[in-house]
Structure 1
Amino acid sequence: MTEDQEAELEEQADDAEEEAEDAEDAEGLQHGDFVELEYTAYTVEDDQLVDTTDPEVAEDEGVDTQGQEFKPRTIVLGEGHIFEDVEEAITGSEAGDSGTVTIDAADAFGEYDPDDVQTVSAEKIDEDDRYPGANVQIDGQQGYISTIIGGRARVDFNHPLAGEDVEYEYEIVDVVEDREAQAAGLFEMYLGFEPELWIETDEVEEEVPVEPDADEDEEAGEDAEPEFETEVVEKESLYLEATPQMTMNQQWMMGKQQIGQQIIDQIDVDRIVVQEVIEGMGMGGLGGMMGGMGGGDIEAALEDADVDADEIVDELEGAEE
Protein backbone atom coordinates (compact mmCIF):
# COMPACT_ATOMS: atom_id res chain seq x y z
CA MET A 1 0.00 0.00 0.00
CA THR A 2 1.38 3.40 -0.96
CA GLU A 3 1.65 6.37 1.42
CA ASP A 4 -1.13 8.15 -0.47
CA GLN A 5 -3.45 5.18 -0.04
CA GLU A 6 -2.65 4.98 3.67
CA ALA A 7 -3.32 8.69 4.07
CA GLU A 8 -6.66 8.34 2.23
CA LEU A 9 -7.75 5.46 4.47
CA GLU A 10 -6.83 7.42 7.60
CA GLU A 11 -8.83 10.39 6.34
CA GLN A 12 -11.86 8.19 5.68
CA ALA A 13 -11.59 6.69 9.17
CA ASP A 14 -11.40 10.18 10.71
CA ASP A 15 -14.47 11.29 8.72
CA ALA A 16 -16.44 8.22 9.85
CA GLU A 17 -15.46 8.88 13.47
CA GLU A 18 -16.58 12.51 13.21
CA GLU A 19 -19.92 11.47 11.71
CA ALA A 20 -20.46 8.98 14.53
CA GLU A 21 -19.66 11.66 17.14
CA ASP A 22 -22.01 14.13 15.43
CA ALA A 23 -24.80 11.54 15.46
CA GLU A 24 -24.27 10.97 19.20
CA ASP A 25 -24.27 14.71 19.90
CA ALA A 26 -27.30 15.43 17.70
CA GLU A 27 -30.40 16.61 19.53
CA GLY A 28 -34.03 16.19 18.63
CA LEU A 29 -35.54 13.86 16.05
CA GLN A 30 -33.12 12.06 13.73
CA HIS A 31 -33.30 9.69 10.76
CA GLY A 32 -34.72 6.35 11.83
CA ASP A 33 -37.10 7.87 14.39
CA PHE A 34 -40.80 7.03 14.15
CA VAL A 35 -42.94 10.16 14.16
CA GLU A 36 -46.69 10.62 14.36
CA LEU A 37 -47.38 13.53 12.03
CA GLU A 38 -50.38 15.72 11.27
CA TYR A 39 -50.22 17.67 8.01
CA THR A 40 -52.06 19.40 5.20
CA ALA A 41 -50.54 20.27 1.81
CA TYR A 42 -51.91 22.57 -0.93
CA THR A 43 -50.54 23.71 -4.27
CA VAL A 44 -49.26 27.27 -3.99
CA GLU A 45 -50.75 28.69 -7.19
CA ASP A 46 -54.19 27.02 -7.39
CA ASP A 47 -54.72 26.23 -3.69
CA GLN A 48 -55.55 22.65 -4.67
CA LEU A 49 -55.51 20.06 -1.89
CA VAL A 50 -52.61 17.61 -2.26
CA ASP A 51 -52.99 15.56 0.93
CA THR A 52 -54.25 15.94 4.50
CA THR A 53 -54.64 14.08 7.79
CA ASP A 54 -57.27 16.55 9.05
CA PRO A 55 -60.88 15.22 8.85
CA GLU A 56 -62.30 18.77 8.83
CA VAL A 57 -60.15 19.76 5.86
CA ALA A 58 -61.15 16.54 4.09
CA GLU A 59 -64.83 17.31 4.68
CA ASP A 60 -64.47 20.91 3.46
CA GLU A 61 -62.68 19.72 0.31
CA GLY A 62 -65.23 16.94 -0.33
CA VAL A 63 -62.70 14.09 -0.20
CA ASP A 64 -64.03 12.48 2.99
CA THR A 65 -66.30 10.16 1.01
CA GLN A 66 -63.47 8.06 -0.43
CA GLY A 67 -63.40 5.52 2.42
CA GLN A 68 -60.08 6.85 3.74
CA GLU A 69 -59.58 7.52 7.45
CA PHE A 70 -58.15 10.96 8.14
CA LYS A 71 -55.95 11.00 11.25
CA PRO A 72 -52.25 11.54 12.14
CA ARG A 73 -49.90 9.20 10.30
CA THR A 74 -46.78 7.38 11.42
CA ILE A 75 -43.69 7.83 9.25
CA VAL A 76 -39.99 7.02 9.62
CA LEU A 77 -37.61 9.92 9.12
CA GLY A 78 -35.05 9.32 6.40
CA GLU A 79 -37.09 6.64 4.60
CA GLY A 80 -38.69 8.90 1.98
CA HIS A 81 -42.20 8.61 3.44
CA ILE A 82 -42.66 12.37 3.06
CA PHE A 83 -41.03 15.10 0.95
CA GLU A 84 -37.31 15.43 1.64
CA ASP A 85 -37.65 19.18 2.42
CA VAL A 86 -40.18 18.36 5.14
CA GLU A 87 -37.92 15.65 6.57
CA GLU A 88 -35.09 18.17 6.80
CA ALA A 89 -37.36 20.65 8.59
CA ILE A 90 -38.49 18.00 11.11
CA THR A 91 -34.98 16.66 11.79
CA GLY A 92 -33.73 18.13 15.07
CA SER A 93 -37.25 19.10 16.15
CA GLU A 94 -39.26 17.80 19.11
CA ALA A 95 -42.79 16.47 19.62
CA GLY A 96 -45.22 19.40 19.60
CA ASP A 97 -43.22 21.45 17.08
CA SER A 98 -44.92 22.65 13.90
CA GLY A 99 -43.98 24.50 10.76
CA THR A 100 -44.64 25.31 7.11
CA VAL A 101 -42.40 24.28 4.22
CA THR A 102 -42.72 25.39 0.59
CA ILE A 103 -41.53 22.70 -1.82
CA ASP A 104 -40.44 23.61 -5.35
CA ALA A 105 -42.20 21.81 -8.18
CA ALA A 106 -39.02 19.99 -9.17
CA ASP A 107 -38.79 18.47 -5.66
CA ALA A 108 -42.53 17.86 -5.36
CA PHE A 109 -44.09 16.18 -8.41
CA GLY A 110 -41.58 17.28 -11.03
CA GLU A 111 -41.53 20.02 -13.64
CA TYR A 112 -44.14 19.87 -16.39
CA ASP A 113 -42.68 18.37 -19.58
CA PRO A 114 -44.62 19.09 -22.82
CA ASP A 115 -42.86 16.14 -24.47
CA ASP A 116 -44.74 13.83 -22.09
CA VAL A 117 -48.01 14.66 -23.87
CA GLN A 118 -48.54 12.21 -26.73
CA THR A 119 -51.18 11.41 -29.35
CA VAL A 120 -52.18 7.75 -29.41
CA SER A 121 -54.76 5.63 -31.18
CA ALA A 122 -58.05 5.37 -29.30
CA GLU A 123 -57.90 1.63 -29.98
CA LYS A 124 -55.20 1.40 -27.29
CA ILE A 125 -57.73 2.63 -24.71
CA ASP A 126 -60.57 0.63 -23.20
CA GLU A 127 -63.95 1.83 -24.51
CA ASP A 128 -65.12 2.68 -20.98
CA ASP A 129 -62.13 5.04 -20.53
CA ARG A 130 -62.46 7.01 -23.76
CA TYR A 131 -63.30 10.40 -22.23
CA PRO A 132 -61.30 13.48 -21.13
CA GLY A 133 -59.86 13.13 -17.64
CA ALA A 134 -59.82 9.32 -17.61
CA ASN A 135 -56.74 7.71 -16.06
CA VAL A 136 -55.23 5.25 -18.52
CA GLN A 137 -52.18 3.08 -18.94
CA ILE A 138 -50.49 3.05 -22.34
CA ASP A 139 -47.49 0.81 -23.02
CA GLY A 140 -46.79 0.57 -19.29
CA GLN A 141 -47.03 4.34 -18.71
CA GLN A 142 -49.68 5.93 -16.47
CA GLY A 143 -51.38 9.05 -17.81
CA TYR A 144 -54.71 10.78 -18.29
CA ILE A 145 -56.67 11.78 -21.39
CA SER A 146 -56.65 15.52 -22.03
CA THR A 147 -58.69 15.39 -25.28
CA ILE A 148 -60.13 12.70 -27.50
CA ILE A 149 -61.42 13.28 -31.03
CA GLY A 150 -62.47 10.51 -33.34
CA GLY A 151 -59.92 7.74 -33.29
CA ARG A 152 -57.12 9.78 -31.68
CA ALA A 153 -56.51 10.71 -28.04
CA ARG A 154 -54.09 13.16 -26.44
CA VAL A 155 -52.66 11.49 -23.33
CA ASP A 156 -50.74 13.49 -20.72
CA PHE A 157 -48.14 11.34 -18.98
CA ASN A 158 -47.07 14.11 -16.59
CA HIS A 159 -48.14 13.80 -12.96
CA PRO A 160 -51.42 15.73 -12.52
CA LEU A 161 -49.59 18.08 -10.12
CA ALA A 162 -46.41 18.43 -12.20
CA GLY A 163 -45.15 22.00 -12.30
CA GLU A 164 -46.89 22.94 -9.04
CA ASP A 165 -45.09 24.26 -5.96
CA VAL A 166 -46.53 22.78 -2.76
CA GLU A 167 -47.03 24.40 0.64
CA TYR A 168 -46.84 21.83 3.43
CA GLU A 169 -48.07 22.59 6.96
CA TYR A 170 -47.18 20.03 9.63
CA GLU A 171 -47.29 19.36 13.36
CA ILE A 172 -45.30 16.66 15.16
CA VAL A 173 -47.94 14.98 17.32
CA ASP A 174 -45.69 12.47 19.06
CA VAL A 175 -42.63 10.22 18.84
CA VAL A 176 -43.71 6.57 18.49
CA GLU A 177 -41.63 4.28 20.69
CA ASP A 178 -43.84 1.17 20.99
CA ARG A 179 -42.79 -1.34 18.32
CA GLU A 180 -46.28 -2.76 17.78
CA ALA A 181 -47.59 0.79 17.30
CA GLN A 182 -44.70 1.44 14.91
CA ALA A 183 -45.60 -1.66 12.86
CA ALA A 184 -49.31 -0.76 12.86
CA GLY A 185 -48.50 2.74 11.62
CA LEU A 186 -46.33 1.43 8.80
CA PHE A 187 -48.97 -1.08 7.69
CA GLU A 188 -51.55 1.71 7.65
CA MET A 189 -49.26 3.83 5.49
CA TYR A 190 -48.63 0.99 3.02
CA LEU A 191 -52.09 -0.63 2.98
CA GLY A 192 -54.49 2.11 4.11
CA PHE A 193 -55.61 0.37 7.33
CA GLU A 194 -54.17 -1.02 10.58
CA PRO A 195 -54.30 -4.83 10.81
CA GLU A 196 -54.50 -6.62 14.13
CA LEU A 197 -50.92 -7.50 15.09
CA TRP A 198 -48.67 -8.45 18.00
CA ILE A 199 -45.00 -9.37 18.62
CA GLU A 200 -43.90 -12.63 20.27
CA THR A 201 -40.62 -14.50 20.72
CA ASP A 202 -40.86 -18.09 19.45
CA GLU A 203 -38.60 -21.12 19.63
CA VAL A 204 -38.19 -22.36 16.06
CA GLU A 205 -36.40 -25.39 14.63
CA GLU A 206 -33.90 -24.32 11.98
CA GLU A 207 -31.44 -26.16 9.75
CA VAL A 208 -27.93 -24.79 10.33
CA PRO A 209 -24.70 -25.84 8.55
CA VAL A 210 -22.27 -28.02 10.47
CA GLU A 211 -18.66 -26.88 10.43
CA PRO A 212 -16.62 -30.03 9.51
CA ASP A 213 -13.29 -30.90 11.07
CA ALA A 214 -10.28 -29.85 9.04
CA ASP A 215 -9.16 -33.48 8.52
CA GLU A 216 -12.64 -34.63 7.42
CA ASP A 217 -12.96 -31.64 5.09
CA GLU A 218 -9.64 -32.50 3.43
CA GLU A 219 -10.60 -36.16 2.98
CA ALA A 220 -14.04 -35.33 1.57
CA GLY A 221 -12.60 -32.97 -1.04
CA GLU A 222 -14.12 -29.87 -2.62
CA ASP A 223 -17.18 -31.69 -4.01
CA ALA A 224 -18.46 -32.86 -0.61
CA GLU A 225 -22.09 -31.97 0.18
CA PRO A 226 -22.49 -29.56 3.12
CA GLU A 227 -23.98 -31.08 6.26
CA PHE A 228 -26.78 -29.56 8.32
CA GLU A 229 -28.25 -30.15 11.75
CA THR A 230 -31.50 -29.07 13.37
CA GLU A 231 -31.11 -26.41 16.01
CA VAL A 232 -33.74 -24.67 18.16
CA VAL A 233 -33.35 -20.89 17.90
CA GLU A 234 -35.34 -17.94 19.21
CA LYS A 235 -37.01 -15.72 16.63
CA GLU A 236 -38.89 -12.52 17.30
CA SER A 237 -42.06 -12.74 15.23
CA LEU A 238 -44.55 -10.08 14.18
CA TYR A 239 -47.93 -11.81 13.95
CA LEU A 240 -50.76 -10.59 11.72
CA GLU A 241 -54.30 -11.87 11.45
CA ALA A 242 -55.11 -12.53 7.79
CA THR A 243 -58.54 -10.89 7.64
CA PRO A 244 -60.35 -10.63 4.27
CA GLN A 245 -59.58 -6.90 4.32
CA MET A 246 -55.89 -7.71 4.34
CA THR A 247 -55.73 -10.75 2.05
CA MET A 248 -57.80 -8.95 -0.61
CA ASN A 249 -55.84 -5.68 -0.32
CA GLN A 250 -54.32 -4.93 -3.73
CA GLN A 251 -51.14 -3.38 -2.31
CA TRP A 252 -50.56 -6.44 -0.13
CA MET A 253 -51.29 -8.91 -2.93
CA MET A 254 -48.90 -7.15 -5.32
CA GLY A 255 -46.05 -6.33 -2.94
CA LYS A 256 -46.27 -8.37 0.27
CA GLN A 257 -42.62 -9.49 0.06
CA GLN A 258 -41.30 -5.96 -0.37
CA ILE A 259 -43.62 -4.45 2.26
CA GLY A 260 -42.84 -7.26 4.69
CA GLN A 261 -39.07 -6.90 4.26
CA GLN A 262 -39.21 -3.14 4.82
CA ILE A 263 -41.19 -3.59 8.04
CA ILE A 264 -38.86 -6.39 9.23
CA ASP A 265 -35.89 -4.05 8.73
CA GLN A 266 -37.53 -1.00 10.32
CA ILE A 267 -39.12 -2.75 13.30
CA ASP A 268 -36.12 -5.08 13.76
CA VAL A 269 -37.96 -8.41 13.99
CA ASP A 270 -36.83 -11.73 12.53
CA ARG A 271 -39.95 -12.58 10.57
CA ILE A 272 -43.61 -11.79 9.89
CA VAL A 273 -46.18 -14.55 10.42
CA VAL A 274 -49.57 -14.13 8.74
CA GLN A 275 -52.21 -16.26 10.47
CA GLU A 276 -55.51 -17.30 8.93
CA VAL A 277 -58.33 -17.87 11.40
CA ILE A 278 -61.32 -20.01 10.37
CA GLU A 279 -64.28 -19.78 12.74
CA GLY A 280 -66.46 -22.87 13.21
CA MET A 281 -70.22 -22.72 12.67
CA GLY A 282 -70.99 -24.57 15.93
CA MET A 283 -73.65 -27.21 16.49
CA GLY A 284 -76.34 -24.94 15.16
CA GLY A 285 -74.70 -24.78 11.74
CA LEU A 286 -75.13 -27.26 8.93
CA GLY A 287 -71.42 -28.12 8.85
CA GLY A 288 -71.34 -28.81 12.58
CA MET A 289 -74.49 -30.90 12.44
CA MET A 290 -73.47 -33.13 9.52
CA GLY A 291 -69.82 -33.39 10.56
CA GLY A 292 -70.73 -34.57 14.06
CA MET A 293 -73.31 -37.18 13.10
CA GLY A 294 -72.61 -40.83 13.68
CA GLY A 295 -74.90 -43.67 12.57
CA GLY A 296 -77.15 -43.30 15.62
CA ASP A 297 -77.45 -39.57 15.05
CA ILE A 298 -78.62 -40.12 11.47
CA GLU A 299 -81.28 -42.61 12.58
CA ALA A 300 -82.49 -40.21 15.24
CA ALA A 301 -82.67 -37.41 12.71
CA LEU A 302 -84.71 -39.58 10.32
CA GLU A 303 -87.11 -40.52 13.13
CA ASP A 304 -87.54 -36.84 14.04
CA ALA A 305 -88.35 -36.14 10.40
CA ASP A 306 -90.92 -39.01 10.38
CA VAL A 307 -88.99 -40.94 7.72
CA ASP A 308 -88.89 -44.77 7.68
CA ALA A 309 -85.27 -45.78 6.99
CA ASP A 310 -86.26 -49.35 6.01
CA GLU A 311 -88.63 -48.02 3.34
CA ILE A 312 -85.84 -45.90 1.86
CA VAL A 313 -83.52 -48.93 1.72
CA ASP A 314 -86.21 -51.07 0.01
CA GLU A 315 -86.84 -48.34 -2.57
CA LEU A 316 -83.15 -48.04 -3.37
CA GLU A 317 -82.75 -51.80 -3.76
CA GLY A 318 -85.79 -51.93 -6.03
CA ALA A 319 -84.33 -49.18 -8.20
CA GLU A 320 -81.05 -51.09 -8.59
CA GLU A 321 -82.92 -54.24 -9.74
Structure 2
Amino acid sequence: MDFIKISYTGKTEDGKIFATTDGKTAKEEEIYDENTIYKPVILIYEESNDKITEKIKEEIKNEKAGTEKEIVIPKELNQTYNPKLVQIYPLHVFKKQNLNPFTGMLFKSGEAVGKVISVAGGRVKVDFNSDIAGKELIYKVKVEGIAATTEEKINYLIEKNFNTTENFHFNLEKRTKNEKENNTLNIELPKNIFINELVFKKKQMFVQDVSKYLDIKEIVFTEKWNHK
Protein backbone atom coordinates (compact mmCIF):
# COMPACT_ATOMS: atom_id res chain seq x y z
CA MET A 1 0.00 0.00 0.00
CA ASP A 2 1.32 3.44 -0.94
CA PHE A 3 1.70 6.29 1.55
CA ILE A 4 2.75 9.50 -0.16
CA LYS A 5 3.39 13.08 0.96
CA ILE A 6 2.68 15.97 -1.42
CA SER A 7 2.68 19.74 -1.52
CA TYR A 8 0.44 21.55 -3.98
CA THR A 9 -0.98 24.80 -5.25
CA GLY A 10 -4.34 24.85 -7.02
CA LYS A 11 -5.58 27.53 -9.39
CA THR A 12 -8.64 28.03 -11.58
CA GLU A 13 -8.54 28.14 -15.37
CA ASP A 14 -8.30 31.95 -15.22
CA GLY A 15 -5.15 31.73 -13.05
CA LYS A 16 -6.62 32.56 -9.63
CA ILE A 17 -4.99 30.56 -6.81
CA PHE A 18 -7.60 29.15 -4.43
CA ALA A 19 -5.69 26.55 -2.39
CA THR A 20 -2.11 25.80 -1.37
CA THR A 21 -0.05 23.94 1.21
CA ASP A 22 2.45 26.83 1.32
CA GLY A 23 1.79 29.55 3.88
CA LYS A 24 3.87 32.17 2.05
CA THR A 25 1.90 31.65 -1.16
CA ALA A 26 -1.38 31.85 0.76
CA LYS A 27 -0.38 35.24 2.21
CA GLU A 28 0.78 36.56 -1.16
CA GLU A 29 -2.53 35.54 -2.77
CA GLU A 30 -4.54 36.89 0.19
CA ILE A 31 -6.17 33.53 0.91
CA TYR A 32 -4.31 32.90 4.17
CA ASP A 33 -6.40 31.36 6.95
CA GLU A 34 -4.90 31.52 10.45
CA ASN A 35 -6.83 28.37 11.39
CA THR A 36 -5.17 26.35 8.62
CA ILE A 37 -1.88 24.50 9.12
CA TYR A 38 0.15 24.99 5.95
CA LYS A 39 2.30 21.91 5.35
CA PRO A 40 2.51 18.97 2.93
CA VAL A 41 -0.37 16.50 3.15
CA ILE A 42 -0.35 12.72 3.47
CA LEU A 43 -2.27 10.64 0.93
CA ILE A 44 -3.03 6.95 1.42
CA TYR A 45 -4.00 5.05 -1.70
CA GLU A 46 -6.35 2.66 0.08
CA GLU A 47 -8.23 5.59 1.62
CA SER A 48 -11.31 6.86 -0.22
CA ASN A 49 -11.23 10.55 -1.10
CA ASP A 50 -13.18 13.09 -3.14
CA LYS A 51 -12.99 12.97 -6.95
CA ILE A 52 -10.31 15.66 -7.20
CA THR A 53 -7.99 13.96 -4.71
CA GLU A 54 -8.53 10.59 -6.39
CA LYS A 55 -7.53 12.15 -9.73
CA ILE A 56 -4.35 13.57 -8.18
CA LYS A 57 -3.51 10.19 -6.62
CA GLU A 58 -4.00 8.49 -9.99
CA GLU A 59 -1.73 10.98 -11.78
CA ILE A 60 1.20 10.67 -9.35
CA LYS A 61 0.91 6.99 -8.44
CA ASN A 62 4.11 5.91 -10.19
CA GLU A 63 6.13 9.08 -9.63
CA LYS A 64 9.29 9.30 -7.52
CA ALA A 65 10.03 11.63 -4.60
CA GLY A 66 11.00 15.07 -5.87
CA THR A 67 8.81 14.87 -8.98
CA GLU A 68 6.76 17.96 -9.84
CA LYS A 69 3.71 17.63 -12.05
CA GLU A 70 0.89 19.82 -13.34
CA ILE A 71 -2.47 18.08 -13.13
CA VAL A 72 -5.61 19.33 -14.86
CA ILE A 73 -8.93 18.61 -13.16
CA PRO A 74 -11.71 18.71 -15.79
CA LYS A 75 -14.95 20.51 -15.00
CA GLU A 76 -16.90 17.27 -14.79
CA LEU A 77 -14.83 16.17 -11.77
CA ASN A 78 -15.32 19.50 -10.03
CA GLN A 79 -18.45 20.55 -8.18
CA THR A 80 -21.24 21.81 -10.44
CA TYR A 81 -22.35 25.43 -10.31
CA ASN A 82 -25.84 25.49 -8.77
CA PRO A 83 -28.04 28.50 -9.73
CA LYS A 84 -30.32 27.70 -6.76
CA LEU A 85 -27.50 28.78 -4.44
CA VAL A 86 -27.85 32.37 -5.68
CA GLN A 87 -30.17 34.10 -3.21
CA ILE A 88 -31.78 37.56 -3.23
CA TYR A 89 -32.18 39.46 0.05
CA PRO A 90 -33.98 42.74 0.80
CA LEU A 91 -31.49 45.48 1.63
CA HIS A 92 -33.01 45.90 5.11
CA VAL A 93 -31.70 42.43 6.09
CA PHE A 94 -28.19 43.88 5.88
CA LYS A 95 -29.12 47.22 7.44
CA LYS A 96 -30.51 45.44 10.51
CA GLN A 97 -27.03 43.98 11.01
CA ASN A 98 -25.38 47.38 10.45
CA LEU A 99 -23.93 46.12 7.18
CA ASN A 100 -23.49 48.18 4.03
CA PRO A 101 -23.40 45.56 1.24
CA PHE A 102 -21.10 45.92 -1.77
CA THR A 103 -20.05 43.69 -4.65
CA GLY A 104 -17.50 41.13 -3.49
CA MET A 105 -18.48 41.37 0.18
CA LEU A 106 -18.76 38.07 2.08
CA PHE A 107 -22.08 37.38 3.78
CA LYS A 108 -22.85 34.59 6.25
CA SER A 109 -26.29 33.03 6.51
CA GLY A 110 -26.41 30.24 9.06
CA GLU A 111 -23.41 28.01 8.29
CA ALA A 112 -23.21 29.09 4.64
CA VAL A 113 -20.91 31.86 3.43
CA GLY A 114 -21.68 33.61 0.15
CA LYS A 115 -20.38 36.51 -1.88
CA VAL A 116 -22.43 39.58 -2.81
CA ILE A 117 -22.55 39.78 -6.61
CA SER A 118 -24.88 42.77 -7.04
CA VAL A 119 -26.67 45.51 -5.10
CA ALA A 120 -29.52 47.27 -6.91
CA GLY A 121 -33.10 48.44 -6.40
CA GLY A 122 -33.09 47.71 -2.67
CA ARG A 123 -32.12 44.09 -3.29
CA VAL A 124 -28.86 42.25 -2.68
CA LYS A 125 -27.92 39.18 -4.70
CA VAL A 126 -25.65 36.71 -2.90
CA ASP A 127 -23.94 33.71 -4.51
CA PHE A 128 -23.34 30.80 -2.12
CA ASN A 129 -21.54 28.68 -4.72
CA SER A 130 -17.85 28.03 -4.20
CA ASP A 131 -15.52 30.28 -6.20
CA ILE A 132 -14.25 27.21 -8.04
CA ALA A 133 -17.63 25.65 -8.82
CA GLY A 134 -18.05 24.70 -12.48
CA LYS A 135 -14.46 25.58 -13.42
CA GLU A 136 -11.50 23.62 -14.74
CA LEU A 137 -8.76 23.42 -12.10
CA ILE A 138 -5.00 23.14 -12.42
CA TYR A 139 -2.90 21.72 -9.60
CA LYS A 140 0.87 22.01 -9.41
CA VAL A 141 1.89 19.04 -7.29
CA LYS A 142 5.25 18.01 -5.86
CA VAL A 143 5.88 14.55 -4.43
CA GLU A 144 7.70 15.35 -1.18
CA GLY A 145 8.20 11.78 -0.04
CA ILE A 146 7.05 8.17 -0.20
CA ALA A 147 6.86 5.90 2.84
CA ALA A 148 8.18 2.42 2.07
CA THR A 149 8.80 0.77 5.46
CA THR A 150 6.33 0.21 8.30
CA GLU A 151 8.29 2.66 10.47
CA GLU A 152 8.06 5.36 7.79
CA LYS A 153 4.33 4.76 7.46
CA ILE A 154 3.88 5.09 11.23
CA ASN A 155 5.67 8.45 11.06
CA TYR A 156 3.36 9.55 8.25
CA LEU A 157 0.28 8.54 10.25
CA ILE A 158 1.58 10.44 13.29
CA GLU A 159 2.03 13.54 11.12
CA LYS A 160 -1.37 13.04 9.45
CA ASN A 161 -3.26 12.87 12.74
CA PHE A 162 -1.20 15.06 15.10
CA ASN A 163 0.14 17.53 12.47
CA THR A 164 3.72 16.95 13.66
CA THR A 165 6.21 14.19 14.47
CA GLU A 166 8.35 16.35 16.75
CA ASN A 167 9.18 14.69 20.10
CA PHE A 168 7.14 11.57 19.29
CA HIS A 169 9.02 8.36 20.08
CA PHE A 170 7.91 4.87 19.17
CA ASN A 171 9.12 1.32 18.79
CA LEU A 172 7.53 -1.61 17.04
CA GLU A 173 7.63 -5.03 18.68
CA LYS A 174 7.61 -7.46 15.79
CA ARG A 175 6.35 -10.95 16.59
CA THR A 176 7.69 -14.06 14.90
CA LYS A 177 5.43 -16.10 12.65
CA ASN A 178 5.25 -18.83 15.29
CA GLU A 179 3.72 -16.51 17.87
CA LYS A 180 -0.03 -16.01 17.94
CA GLU A 181 0.22 -12.37 19.03
CA ASN A 182 0.28 -9.54 16.51
CA ASN A 183 2.76 -6.67 16.23
CA THR A 184 2.58 -4.11 19.04
CA LEU A 185 3.27 -0.40 18.61
CA ASN A 186 4.56 1.43 21.69
CA ILE A 187 4.36 5.19 21.31
CA GLU A 188 5.45 7.88 23.77
CA LEU A 189 3.47 11.10 23.47
CA PRO A 190 5.21 14.47 23.93
CA LYS A 191 4.02 16.64 26.81
CA ASN A 192 3.15 19.57 24.57
CA ILE A 193 0.54 17.48 22.72
CA PHE A 194 -1.75 17.71 25.75
CA ILE A 195 -2.14 21.46 25.26
CA ASN A 196 -4.54 20.58 22.45
CA GLU A 197 -7.99 19.79 23.86
CA LEU A 198 -8.65 17.49 20.88
CA VAL A 199 -5.79 15.15 21.77
CA PHE A 200 -8.14 12.28 22.72
CA LYS A 201 -9.92 12.53 19.37
CA LYS A 202 -6.57 12.65 17.56
CA LYS A 203 -5.47 9.49 19.37
CA GLN A 204 -8.68 7.75 18.33
CA MET A 205 -8.17 8.70 14.68
CA PHE A 206 -4.53 7.57 14.80
CA VAL A 207 -5.54 4.19 16.24
CA GLN A 208 -8.18 3.76 13.53
CA ASP A 209 -5.66 4.54 10.78
CA VAL A 210 -2.97 2.23 12.17
CA SER A 211 -5.45 -0.62 12.63
CA LYS A 212 -6.85 -0.13 9.14
CA TYR A 213 -3.71 0.35 7.08
CA LEU A 214 -0.93 -1.49 8.96
CA ASP A 215 -0.44 -4.99 10.31
CA ILE A 216 -0.55 -3.74 13.91
CA LYS A 217 -3.30 -4.84 16.25
CA GLU A 218 -2.11 -3.43 19.57
CA ILE A 219 -1.11 0.17 20.32
CA VAL A 220 0.24 1.27 23.69
CA PHE A 221 0.38 5.01 24.45
CA THR A 222 2.66 6.22 27.25
CA GLU A 223 3.16 9.62 28.83
CA LYS A 224 6.38 10.66 30.56
CA TRP A 225 6.42 13.53 33.05
CA ASN A 226 9.56 14.66 34.86
CA HIS A 227 9.36 16.49 38.19
CA LYS A 228 12.15 18.88 39.11
For normalisation by structure 2, the TM-score amounts to 0.66
Does residue 272 (structure 1) correspond to residue 219 (structure 2)? The answer is: yes
Conserved 8 A contact 1:143-1:158: no
**Cα distance in 1 between the residues matched to 2:85 and 2:64:** 42
- Secondary structure of 2:170's counterpart equals strand
Quick one: percent identity of the two aligned structures? 19
Paired AA for residue 198 in structure 1: F
Structure with more of its chain in helix, by fraction: 1
CA deviation vs aligned residue, 1:259-303 (integer Å, no higher than 9, x gap): 4312332233223333333332x3xxxxxxxxxxxxxxxxxxxxx
**Cα distance in 2 between the residues matched to 1:233 and 1:245:** 30
Structure with more of its chain in strand, by fraction: 2
Does residue 200 (structure 1) correspond to residue 147 (structure 2)? The answer is: no
Conserved 8 A contact 1:143-1:155: no
Paired AA for residue 106 in structure 2: G
Structure number with higher relative contact order (C-alpha < 8 Å, ≥ 6 residues apart): 2
Alignment match of 2:140 (pick from 169, 184, 191): 169
CA deviation vs aligned residue, 1:140-181 (integer Å, no higher than 9, x gap): xx411445x9xx998765445322321011232332224343
**Cα distance in 2 between the residues matched to 1:157 and 1:47:** 18
Does residue 95 (structure 1) correspond to residue 61 (structure 2)? The answer is: no
Does residue 237 (structure 1) correspond to residue 173 (structure 2)? The answer is: no
Does residue 184 (structure 1) correspond to residue 155 (structure 2)? The answer is: yes
Go from structure 1 to structure 2 and tell me whether the alpha carbon gap of 1:61 and 1:187 turns closer, same or farther (over 3 Å shift). Answer: farther
**Cα distance in 2 between the residues matched to 1:180 and 1:96:** 21
Conserved 8 A contact 1:38-1:171: yes
Any stretches of 5+ residues in structure 1 without a counterpart?
A: 1-31, 204-231, 283-321
State the 1:233 CA deviation.
4.3
Match of 1:44 in 2: 13
Task: Within 5 Å, give how 1:110-189 maps onto structure 2.
Answer: 110-117=79-86, 133=106, 138=110, 142-146=111-115, 158-189=129-160
Task: Within 5 Å, give how 1:295-314 maps onto structure 2.
Answer: none
Any stretches of 5+ residues in structure 2 without a counterpart?
A: none
Match of 2:47 in 1: 79
- Secondary structure of 2:106's counterpart equals coil
Larger Cα-atom Rg: 1
Alignment match of 2:196 (pick from 221, 236, 248): 248
Paired AA for residue 133 in structure 1: L
**Cα distance in 1 between the residues matched to 2:32 and 2:80:** 29
Go from structure 1 to structure 2 and tell me whether the alpha carbon gap of 1:258 and 1:178 turns closer, same or farther (over 3 Å shift). Answer: same
Conserved 8 A contact 1:143-1:156: no
